[in-house]
Amino acid sequence: MGAVPVPPVPPADDDGPDHDWAPGELPSAIATLAAAAAAASAPAAATRPELVGRLVLLHDLSFIDRRSQDTRRYLIGLIAALGLAIALITVVVAQFSWRGWIQGARALMRGEGLLAPFAPVPELAPLANELRGRLRDLEDEYRRSQGPEAEWTAERLRALLRTQLSGDQVIVVSNREPYIHERGGNGGGIVVKRPASGLVTAVEPVMRACSGTWIAHGSGSADRDVVDRGDRVAVPPGHEDYWLRRIWLTPEEEQGYYYGFANEGLWPLCHVAHVRPVFRESDWEAYRAVNQRFADAVVAEARSEDPVVLVQDYHFALLPAMVREQLPQATILTFWHIPWPNPESFGICPWRREILQGMLGSTILGFHTRYHCKNFLETVDRYLEARIEHEHSTIAYRGKETLVESYPISIAWPDGQADTAWAPVADCRRRVVERLGLPPAACLAVGVDRFDYTKGILERLNAVERLLEKHPEMVGRFVFVQVAAPTRGALDEYKSFQQRVEQTAGRINQRFGTPACQPVHLLARHHEPDAVNELFRAADLCVVTSLHDGMNLVCKEFVAARDDLQGVLVLSRFAGAAREMPEALIVNPYHVEETADALHRAATMPAAEQRERMASLRSTVREFNVYRWAGRMLADAGRWRLRARIEARVRRYQEDGQTQDA
């Protein structure tokens, strides 16, 4: 404590009035210091002669302040602690009830009822529906708010053709025809078949939306019986949305061009599936001749000098340049449905330069993935003297430019009419179980493919066998149904592959089959789309184990078929589709153990997880549908045509200017 000021006391010789202090009346004062209070009193010793001095009493009263401050602090602390405790209790209670709400809402979304696993409460069904509907609305609103990318539909594609391509004629060229007329239906009549072809699955709905003409090889036994004098027939039967123009090939042409160069040469070359490509001079000659015949047919069908020509696949690598020669103004979109290998692998082909030159007749060259585009650009860089602009993904060759772009192909999403006609999932299952004589409680896995060595059918059978070895409880319960549509059966490689698959299936059935249950059902015959759809709806899981695939549409069709949000997709990482569908169980089909484990995981996956994965897969496939695939390509073509028109006008002005100057 510092110096304490005491009240002034008059000196002894002071003239001023003397005070006569009564005892107890001593002068006193309270002084407040910076840190304390003090009381001082001083008896007036000087005023009384008998007093010899003054006594100053100093009382430190700061304790009063301290006490009251302490009390205030304790009080504030107490109130704050109380407040905190109350807030905490409120938050905890709110958390519990909020979580409860969220869990309840989630359960409702999953269609499980609030008190899962108890039976759903029927009274809550309307609320659940309302919540689901609201969520869908919110999702739509969100999508719209993300940008102008509205959903692609057949109508939108038609509108694009009208506006950006001013209704120009569309001509499709493919080897496989979308409808095959065969003799030998019931009573010997003609039946119409739909081929097992990813290309047809994708391009057909586009053609129905665009009209136009589709040029393809007439391969059916009754094809000639139904065409007009121009070899044309309106399809689809009963709807007649567009023309199918058929090209007839001799057996020699078919052998050299289709079986030989396309399927013994280019197919294994591009798929890198450990089957050696075979290149024969005679096949190459046939391939060139048939490409020319189809190119001539395009020119003959063209009603203007600048039609939009959609060239499909590896059967027609030379056709774009052939058409370009006769119709320089045509917009040629070539789509390569299979993978494109790296430059070293492609270099095996003795006619690699001719193939590349032919393809660069295209205005736009499309692949499924960026990776295939990159391989193509590098291949051109390696084998041709061309200018490549990596930034714009264009190749300038002999004065013409080609845009190389990725357009992931897809399917037409069921339009609401198709899926309402589908039988309920339970009925599909009952029918499949009855037809194949399966145990009613079987866990049903399906595979649907062409009987092709690139599809990994042997690998998936090995995985089924391993699954049954590892999980004996699955024996008699796990059933794998493989639909394998016959294809290219004239080729030795395909014949021996089919034999190996049959042997493997037989071995598994011998090891694990019981009188009541065969684990593998190999259905090596063509199935129409409705039958495939029924199988997809009946299945617990779908297995796609391609060793290499441009895209693979089977997995997308399976997802589209499952409007009940059940079923698990096991998908090869070597299919282009794996990039778009990460919610599938992604496997390396060469790894038997990994694939067997994925089968087991799929077979035992809880319904809620299946629902979660399937809902997400469905929203992807629905958005990235085939109309988007075609729409993006045609929109690019529209821009390209516009640019070409502007450049032509500019050139004309320049030429006019030069003549005037002269």
Segment interacting with ligand F6P, rule: CB under 6 A, options 196-204, 297-305, 471-479, 517-525: 196-204
Of 436 and 531, CB closest to ligand F6P = 531
Q: Please state the closest distance from residue 198 (CB atom) to ligand F6P, in A.
A: 4
Separation between Cα atoms, residue 638 and residue 197, nearest integer Å: 28
* Residue 241: DSSP 8-state: -
Within 306-325, which residues bind ligand F6P (CB under 6 A)?
313
Q: Is 540 in the site for ligand F6P (CB under 6 A)?
A: no
How far is the first Cα of the chain from the last one, in angstroms, to the nearest whole number?
111
Q: How many residues does the chain have?
A: 662
Segment interacting with ligand F6P, rule: CB under 6 A, options 193-201, 283-291, 386-394, 595-603: 193-201
CA atoms within 13 A on the CB side of 413: 18
Radius of gyration of the chain (CA): 42
Of 169 and 197, CB closest to ligand F6P = 197
Separation between Cα atoms, residue 523 and residue 432, nearest integer Å: 13
242 three-class SS: strand
Of 198 and 268, CB closest to ligand F6P = 198
Site string for ligand F6P, 600-639 (x = CB under 6 A): ----------------------------------------
Q: Is 198 in the site for ligand F6P (CB under 6 A)?
A: yes
**Burial (0-12, 13-18, 19+ Cβ within 10 Å), 628:** buried
Separation between Cα atoms, residue 45 and residue 53, nearest integer Å: 5
Of 175 and 363, CB closest to ligand F6P = 175
Paired with 568 in beta bridges are 541
Q: Is 331 in the site for ligand F6P (CB under 6 A)?
A: no
Residue closest to 364 by CA, chosen among 386, 335, 390: 335
Separation between Cα atoms, residue 454 and residue 272, nearest integer Å: 9
Of 178 and 631, CB closest to ligand F6P = 178
Q: Please state the closest distance from residue 112 (CB atom) to ligand F6P, in A.
A: 40
Q: Is 487 in the site for ligand F6P (CB under 6 A)?
A: yes
Q: Is 199 in the site for ligand F6P (CB under 6 A)?
A: yes
Under 8 Å between Cβ of 629 and 366: no
Separation between Cα atoms, residue 518 and residue 496, nearest integer Å: 24
Separation between Cα atoms, residue 579 and residue 286, nearest integer Å: 37
Of 337 and 613, CB closest to ligand F6P = 337
Q: Is 337 in the site for ligand F6P (CB under 6 A)?
A: yes
The residue at minimum Cβ distance from ligand F6P is 199
Q: Is 498 in the site for ligand F6P (CB under 6 A)?
A: no
542 three-class SS: strand
Of 362 and 546, CB closest to ligand F6P = 546
Under 8 Å between Cβ of 245 and 174: no
Site string for ligand F6P, 583-602 (x = CB under 6 A): --------------------
H or E element at residue 570: strand 568-572
Of 217 and 324, CB closest to ligand F6P = 217
Q: Please state the closest distance from residue 550 (CB atom) to ligand F6P, in A.
A: 6
Within 440-459, which residues bind ligand F6P (CB under 6 A)?
450
The residue type at 528 = E
- Select the residue interacting with ligand F6P from 161, 338, 501, 584 (CB under 6 A): 338
Of 467 and 485, CB closest to ligand F6P = 485
Q: Is 556 in the site for ligand F6P (CB under 6 A)?
A: no
Beta carbons within 10 angstroms of residue 437's beta carbon: 10
Q: Is 176 in the site for ligand F6P (CB under 6 A)?
A: yes
Count residues near ligand F6P (CB under 6 A).
12
Q: Please state the closest distance from residue 263 (CB atom) to ligand F6P, in A.
A: 6
Of 526 and 562, CB closest to ligand F6P = 526
Q: Is 212 in the site for ligand F6P (CB under 6 A)?
A: no
Segment interacting with ligand F6P, rule: CB under 6 A, options 183-191, 195-203, 476-484, 518-526: 195-203
Q: Please state the closest distance from residue 231 (CB atom) to ligand F6P, in A.
A: 20
Distance of CA 212 to CAs 234, 320, 388, 474, Å?
10, 18, 33, 52
Of 38 and 560, CB closest to ligand F6P = 560
Taking the CA atoms of 222, 226, 227 and 228 in sequence, report the sign of the dihedral they define.
positive
Under 8 Å between Cβ of 479 and 514: no
Q: Name the packing angle between helices 492-512 and 457-470 (round to 10°).
A: 10
Of 198 and 519, CB closest to ligand F6P = 198
Residue closest to 204 by CA, chosen among 177, 167, 224: 177
Separation between Cα atoms, residue 457 and residue 272, nearest integer Å: 16
Q: Is 291 in the site for ligand F6P (CB under 6 A)?
A: no
> Both tokens of residue 571?
């998908």
Paired with 183 in beta bridges are 190
> Both tokens of residue 526?
């063509």
- Select the residue interacting with ligand F6P from 169, 197, 357, 362 (CB under 6 A): 197
Of 256 and 638, CB closest to ligand F6P = 256
Binding site for ligand F6P (CB under 6 A): 175-176, 197-199, 313, 337-338, 450, 487-488, 550
